[in-house]
Chains A and B, each alone.
Chain A
């Protein structure tokens, strides 16, 4: 069975500071990994995904994530956050077919303060 753990439920950070949102997964098979962002009362928007190849993945809005197979992690980073980055962030994993269901973490609320 697959599972995802987001280690921080809330991450407060000041504007223009760097941020890292942590995600660890467990799986007995090869996985695809995703980060989604959810703004209040909206759906989920894909930030980035790892399917194969380079372990450093760049996404939209200046975010990037690094797949670390030995540590089973896929942490999300941004070097300088903006107020507009305040949102809920979800890490998710799927089986290698990439047409199956996603298993989501509990989410991390990023609170960017002025």
Chain B
């Protein structure tokens, strides 16, 4: 049973480009969470999704950021028109209903 798979592990984008981060939850997990870790800081909640639904997006920046978890395929975190301040590690976690999380290894985004 593979863990939570995130790809790519490292992503470099120029300012103004789009970044797409993918997360495949563990088999049988229907809940997906995205967190961002800025340098020298703890993880900050961004969004919580279930299949085809956004449940809580209270941590998402109002502009340029979006997330989806389609019926088929991985969850996608999309950042449009990236800026240097978006450079961070982005972690995905998944859980079955009512139980604790499993985290992926993260995607480290560098904006140059």
Contact = CB atoms under 8 A, between A and B. Distances in A.
The reply to whether chain A is a binding partner of chain B is yes
Interface of A: 34, 36, 41-46, 49, 90, 92, 98-107
Contact of A101 (B4, B48, B106): B48
Contacts of B31: 99
B33 A90 contact: no
B95 A44 contact: no
A76 to B, nearest CB: 15
B99 interface: yes
Interface of B: 4, 6, 31, 33, 35, 41-45, 48, 56, 58-59, 91, 95, 97-106, 108
Contact of B48 (A36, A45, A100, A106): A100
A9 B56 CA distance: 30
Contacts of B4: 43
Given A42-B105, A43-B106, A105 B33 contact: no
A47 to B, nearest CB: 12
Contacts of B101: 46, 102
Nearest to B96: A99
Given A90-B42, A100-B48, A106-B41, A44 B98 contact: no
| Across the A-B interface, the 3 shortest Cβ-Cβ residue pairs | A104-B42, A101-B45, A43-B105
| Candidate in B41, B103, B105 with the most chain A CB atoms within 10 angstroms | B103
A92 B35 CA distance: 13
20 contacts: A42-B106, A43-B104, A43-B105, A44-B43, A44-B91, A92-B43, A98-B98, A98-B99, A99-B95, A99-B97, A99-B99, A101-B33, A101-B48, A101-B56, A101-B58, A102-B33, A102-B43, A103-B45, A104-B42, A104-B44
A44 B97 CA distance: 20
Given A44-B91, A45-B103, A101 B59 contact: yes
B42 A105 contact: yes
Nearest to B91: A43
B31 to A, nearest CB: 6
Contacts of B56: 100-101
